Structure 1
Amino acid sequence: MTVAIFVPKRLKKSELYAIALFSIVLGFFTDITFDLKYNLYGYFSPGVQFAGFLPILLLFPSSGVLFMNFYPFKKSLLYQFFYIFCWTIFCLFFEFLSIKSGYFYHNGWKYWHSAFTYPYLFLLHLLHLRFFRGYND
């Protein structure tokens, strides 16, 4: 979270705000669906816990802002795919560390599910920013 606050910003403050809020909404939507409804993964133990809100309220907006702030909009499509691929690898590694620490657990969810899900979540962030920019121009 500290990194997201102090890095030089390339986007407008209104865009960063929209990205952070979208990340929170997306985090709640995915976690309510996959954690609480289907019990595929979760934080600490099954059910709702205050500590489970921390990644949604702190980690997700910070990572969303960092991902979008440094997104290579003016680079080639191949470079953009590579950027998303690198972020996916980073997220998989972070997920692995979260599981090893006991903060996060899988219950039917597999790493390959995450490997396919993360790129879509990143693409949703890109679509959201495109929509937001079009709405505010």
Structure 2
Amino acid sequence: MFNLIAFFMPKTLTKLEIYTTSLFSLILSGTADLFLDAKFNLYHYFHEGIQLIDYIAMIGIYPAINIIFLNLYPQKKNYKIKIFYFIIRSLFATIYEYTAKETSFFSHHGWKIWYSALIYPILFFILLLNLKFVRKLK
């Protein structure tokens, strides 16, 4: 569903921005998963350890979420609207993770859902900083 939305939505991002920020989101998520899943066993997709299906899930989720988040980001709005956007997106991501956990798509071991709720705004901010960096390089 995320991929359909990302594919068909009107774009404010260029193809280069979509490509580079999507690759960045995959590297960021892959690195986090490598340590938090494989090394510390705090959570996993489907089965413990890193497997091909985990990679497919990452490719199916992270670039689409990245494109939707950055494409809809209210760049020309005031900071209150931007903060509200971060809160809404982080709340949605937390609810999505909770739902994924309840359907066994995702499992927590030592990880708590509130950790994610605190980290999502930071991750979204990092994605935004990366987009600004890409635009500066361009």
TM-score > 0.5 by shorter chain: yes
> 2:23–2:63: 8 Å Cα contact kept in structure 1?
yes
Does the Cα contact within 8 Å between 2:34 and 2:50 map onto a contact in 1?
no
1:45 deviates by: 2.1
Separation (CA, whole Å) in 2 of partners of 1:83 and 1:133: 21
CA distance in 2 between counterparts of 1:51 and 1:89 reads 26
> Alignment partner for residue 45 of structure 1, among 24, 47, 52?
47
Match of 2:73 among 67, 71, 74: 71
2:83 matched residue in structure 1 = 81
Q: Distance in 1 between matches of 2:56 and 2:100?
A: 13
Deviation of 1:55 after TM superposition, in Å, equals: 2.6
The structural deviation recorded for 1:37 is 1.1
> Equivalent residue of 1:82, what SS?
helix
Q: Distance in 2 between matches of 1:134 and 1:8?
A: 23
Residue of structure 2 aligned with 1:54, choices 34, 48, 56: 56
What stretches of structure 1 move > 6 A for 4+ residues in a row? none
1:105 to 104, 107, 113: 107
Q: Distance in 1 between matches of 2:134 and 2:49?
A: 34
User: Which secondary structure state, in structure 1, belongs to the residue aligned with residue 44 of structure 2?
Assistant: strand
Partner of 1:20: 22
Q: Which amino acid aligns with 2:46?
A: F
Q: For the aligned residues, what is the CA RMSD? A: 0.9
Number of residue pairs aligned between Structure 1 and Structure 2: 136
One-letter amino acid matched to 1:6: F
SS at match of 1:42: strand
Show the counterpart of 2:38: 36
The aligned counterpart of 2:11 is 9
Query: 1:54 deviation in Å?
Result: 2.1
Q: Structure 1 vs Structure 2: percent identity of aligned residues?
A: 37
Residue equivalent to 1:128: 130
After superposition, give the CA deviation of every residue in 1:78-102 in whole Å (9 maximum; x if it has no partner). Answer: 1101101101111111101111111
Secondary structure in structure 2 of the residue aligned to 1:25 = helix
Do the aligned residues in 1 keep the contact of 2:37 with 2:50 (CA within 8 Å)? Answer: no
2:64 partner letter: S
